[in-house]
């Protein structure tokens, strides 16, 4: 981890050449959810390949660029597409943008994803506000010699997703006539989807949804001192006794259809962040 500090500074230097405002919120947009950038008053768009040490996004529907601007007058940075372990990247690479958000001044990370529903009370297109997480990726982005400039050796994870922002997100959603679930997200490495037996196991250990992202970013955000709000869009149901073959095109379409609800929640949360002392 001792090489991360200089890499973060390199990336920040390039981003500041395009965007000199201090972002209040960093946003990571998952599969099929990139349309939120349409709500941003864009001041700069930077391709990932133009930012030092950023990986390249190869996932389906991920544009692969950093959008800099304001959302409802609040300075934000939004990743239009994220990185995944299944693309072959180390978790330290995947989570580098989170550390860059923190170094540039962000105080809140809003992370979204498309996921599979394990809870039988959920349905395709539902939104879940993440209350807690389970890491089954077989790795951790904090492994290695700790750099105390970036965070503590043993960060506490009793509240990885900030309860204040969970409450605010639920309030914002209900004000817009949206009624999200609250639940537990489990992350696996992928890229294959799970077997029936694996879905049964994941549900048994307490997961409500399953995906291939978000948990590494959240671990690093907590390590960095960022507050985190996590939002999941359920794009397919993973009920082992009624399991159908997954269709990636249908998953993306479901994410696109649910996106207006996600956008409404994120807009409201960012507006709250502009009026709230986060630190």
Q: What is the CATH number of the domain that holds 172?
A: 3.40.50.1580
DSSP state of 88: T
Determine, yes or no, domain membership for 111: yes
Determine, yes or no, domain membership for 66: yes
Determine, yes or no, domain membership for 201: yes
Which pLDDT belongs to residue 213?
A: 96
For residues 264 and 252, give the distance between their C-alpha atoms in angstroms, rounded to a whole number. Answer: 19
Q: Are 208 and 119 spatial neighbours (Cβ–Cβ below 8 Å)?
A: yes
Which pLDDT belongs to residue 255?
A: 86
Determine, yes or no, domain membership for 80: yes
Determine, yes or no, domain membership for 279: no
Determine, yes or no, domain membership for 121: yes
Q: How much is the pTM?
A: 0.95
Lookup result for tokens 């879940």: 128
Output the CA torsion sign for 167, 169, 170, 174: positive
Which pLDDT belongs to residue 2?
A: 77
For residues 157 and 182, give the distance between their C-alpha atoms in angstroms, rounded to a whole number. Answer: 18
Q: Are 162 and 228 spatial neighbours (Cβ–Cβ below 8 Å)?
A: yes
Q: Kindly tell me if the per-residue pLDDT of 33 is higher than 80.
A: no
Domain count, the chain: 1
What is the phi-psi region of residue 144: left when phi exceeds 0, alpha when psi lies from -120 to 50, beta otherwise? left
Q: Which residue has the higher pLDDT, 189 or 274?
A: 189
Which pLDDT belongs to residue 61?
A: 56
User: Which is nearest to 190 in space by CA: 84, 89, 116?
Assistant: 84
Q: Which residue has the higher pLDDT, 61 or 8?
A: 8
CB atoms within 10 A of CB 190: 16
Determine, yes or no, domain membership for 114: yes
Q: Kindly tell me if the per-residue pLDDT of 125 is higher than 60.
A: yes
- Range(s) of the domain holding residue 160: 4-274
Region 253-278: what's the mean pLDDT?
88
Determine, yes or no, domain membership for 184: yes
Q: Which residue has the higher pLDDT, 56 or 188?
A: 188
């Amino acid at each position: 981890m001792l090489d991360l500090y200089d890499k973060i500074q390199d990336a920040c230097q390039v981003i500041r050449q395009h965007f000199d405002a201090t972002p209040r919120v960093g946003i990571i947009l998952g599969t099929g959810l990139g349309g939120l950038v349409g709500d941003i008053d864009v001041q700069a768009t930077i391709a990932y390949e133009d930012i030092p040490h950023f990986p390249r996004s190869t996932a389906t529907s991920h544009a692969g660029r950093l959008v800099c601007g304001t959302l409802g007058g609040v300075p934000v940075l939004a990743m239009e597409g994220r990185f995944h372990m299944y693309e072959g990247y180390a978790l330290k690479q995947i989570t580098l943008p989170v550390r860059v958000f923190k170094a540039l001044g962000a105080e809140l990370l809003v992370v979204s994803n498309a996921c599979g529903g394990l809870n039988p009370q959920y349905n395709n297109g539902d939104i879940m506000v993440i209350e807690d997480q389970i890491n089954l990726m077989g790795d951790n982005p904090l492994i290695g010699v700790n750099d105390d400039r970036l965070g503590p050796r043993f960060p506490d994870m009793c509240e990885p997703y900030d309860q204040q922002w969970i409450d605010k997100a639920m309030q914002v959603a209900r004000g817009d006539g949206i009624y999200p679930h609250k639940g537990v997200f489990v992350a696996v490495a992928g890229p294959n989807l799970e077997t029936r037996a694996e879905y049964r196991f994941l549900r048994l250990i307490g997961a409500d949804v399953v995906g291939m992202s978000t948990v590494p970013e959240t671990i690093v955000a907590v390590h960095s001192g960022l507050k985190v709000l996590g939002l999941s869009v359920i794009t397919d149901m993973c009920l082992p006794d009624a399991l159908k073959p997954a269709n990636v095109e249908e998953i993306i379409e479901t994410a696109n259809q649910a996106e207006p609800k996600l956008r409404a929640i994120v807009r409201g949360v960012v507006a709250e962040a502009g009026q709230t002392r986060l630190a």
